[in-house]
Amino acid sequence: MSTALLPLLALLAHAQKPDAPASKPLTLGVWFWYTEHSPASWNTVMERKYPAFQTDFNIPDRVSPDGNSVIFDMAENDPNFMKDVKLWDDGTDAAAFITDAKDVILANGTQGLDLVTDEALEHLGQRLAKIKREVYLRWCPEQNGNWMAYGPPTPGSYYVSVWKRMYTTVKKYAPSVKVVWSPNYDLPPRDTSTWPGPEFVDMVGTSVYYKGFGKNERMPARYIDDSISNIYNEYSVKYNKPFVISESSGAWESGTGTSDKTGEKLTIKSTVDQVTFQKLFWDRMLSTEFLDTYPLLEAVYLFDMAKQEEFFRDFRVSADPAVRKNFQAAVDALDAKGRMKWANAVANVTSTASTTSAVETSAATVAATGVASVSSTKTSSGFSLSLNAVAQNKNVIQLGFPDLLEGLEQLSFSHARAATSPLIGHDKQWQWCIIIRLIAAMLTMTYQGANTTAPTC
């Protein structure tokens, strides 16, 4: 036998070992808020049906105007519309990955875990039970970080006791929800102070970012591996729990900022460009070698936002065309090997209270012609609407609605977003698009006795 075949035979033998774990196709999700994106517009821009979207909400949601009591339900027309899963417009079976981080504080200083009453947990369980999607609950994450209201110096034993109450209540109302324990990546080895026990955890996760703190430079080759290996091995492997990278991206910095160590003012220095900076991060995470090294890894969530921290940091891969192209190339390469999971188109996802049916626009058609042709039906109405909407840019926002009344509600909602969130840049276009849709709907409505088709923006 030729010796040249020996390495190949050894590889095949390893792959067939019964104890060699096989990783599942990777769920690649995204987290954005207070941006121009919706789930549908994200799928259009990124040219894929993403299998999961992350959002955040707190229960309690906020304090009363006088600051003396809490309000459990979210505010009507909350500018972070992603909080309300029934407003998601992707029209797929994408999962909802929900982060619940307690950042509410009363006037008397009561905050964090002290506000996690039995009543609050009942509200949480009931709200999760209404979501008609696969749901993951990432509850009070990064608990080892002092930036969290429940972080140090909160005793780990207190965190664990509240966690167990939460887990029991959530499972009572929504037994299919998967509860995620997700400390920050720098949890010290063998620190089990906030570990509730394997019977109270469905999934283990952590957050991974690369930040240069004043320098945009090449990420060390082992940075991501070194960041996750402790939590992955000590919890996911030890207890055979699926693993998720709950937040992740490279943080491209610009302008001036303050050193987190010395407090001195710094001007950003770059030794690589933004494309290379992000490529180094994602080429490692979105590789077969990475997935094979961590076979319990089931999902990775991209943090696609830009915001002011110690420096202005741009975590996004969607905004810059060259960055997006390189990111999509890494995704395509992994997908070509059958290692990616994508969502399926469905009707009437969201929640039991939802009556909308979202629609999908061909990204290729939009990119090539700027015209979005839509046909989507809802069986509970007797009217049919059809519309070819001219899209003014590639960030097409899709909104499905069964009747004119809901269209007016969406218009009101977009005005509320514009009035309360200066970070949103496309609301005027969105509002005009909805107005055009309403006018066109009234002009072209024809009775067909069965269905209603929803135009798109």
| pLDDT by residue, tens only, the chain of 457 residues | 444 443 333 433 433 333 445 678 999 999 998 788 999 999 999 999 999 999 998 889 999 999 999 999 888 888 888 999 999 999 999 999 999 988 889 999 999 999 999 999 999 999 999 999 999 999 999 999 999 999 999 999 999 999 999 999 999 999 999 999 999 999 999 999 999 999 999 999 999 999 999 999 999 999 999 999 999 999 999 999 999 999 999 999 999 998 877 888 999 999 999 999 999 999 999 999 999 999 999 999 999 999 999 999 999 999 999 999 999 999 999 999 999 999 999 976 554 433 333 333 333 333 333 333 332 322 232 222 223 333 333 333 333 333 343 344 334 333 333 333 333 333 344 344 444 444 544 443 333 333 334 444 4
Q: Is 67 left (phi over 0), alpha (psi -120 to 50) or beta?
A: left
Among 33, 87, 96, 91, smallest CA distance to 361 is for 91
**Exposed / middle / buried, residue 268 (Cβ in 10 Å: 0-12, 13-18, 19+):** middle
CB 38 within 8 Å of CB 83: no
CB 191 within 8 Å of CB 168: no
Intervals of CATH 3.20.20.80 along the chain: 24-341
What's the one-letter identity of residue 352? T
Model pTM score: 0.74
CB 183 within 8 Å of CB 208: no
Task: Find the catalytic residue in 134, 199, 217, 247.
Answer: 247
CA distance 37 to 41: 6
Q: Is 312 left (phi over 0), alpha (psi -120 to 50) or beta?
A: beta
Verify whether residue 142 is a known catalytic residue.
yes
Q: Is 80 helix (H, G, I), strand (E, B) or coil?
A: coil
For the CA atoms of 435, 439, 444, 446, the dihedral, rounded to the nearest 10 degrees, stands at: 90
CB 450 within 8 Å of CB 382: yes
Please tell me what DSSP assigns to residue 351: B
Among 365, 254, 241, 370, smallest CA distance to 294 is for 241
The HSE-up count of residue 404 (CA atoms within 13 Å, CB side) is 13
| Structure confidence at residue 348 (pLDDT) | 63
- Strands 297-303 and 243-254, how do they pair? parallel
Q: Which CATH architecture has domain 24-341?
A: Alpha-Beta Barrel (3.20)
Task: Name the helix (H) or strand (E) containing 266.
Answer: strand 265-267
Copy the structure tokens of residue 279.
């490529």
Nearest 5 degrees, angle CA 309-CA 311-CA 313? 75
- Strands 52-56 and 95-100, how do they pair? parallel
Over the stretch 304-332, which tens digit does the pLDDT of each residue have? Answer: 999 999 999 999 999 999 999 999 999 99
Copy the structure tokens of residue 413.
């909602």
Verify whether residue 247 is a known catalytic residue.
yes
| Structure confidence at residue 442 (pLDDT) | 47
| Structure confidence at residue 22 (pLDDT) | 63
Task: Find the catalytic residue in 47, 119, 142, 310.
Answer: 142
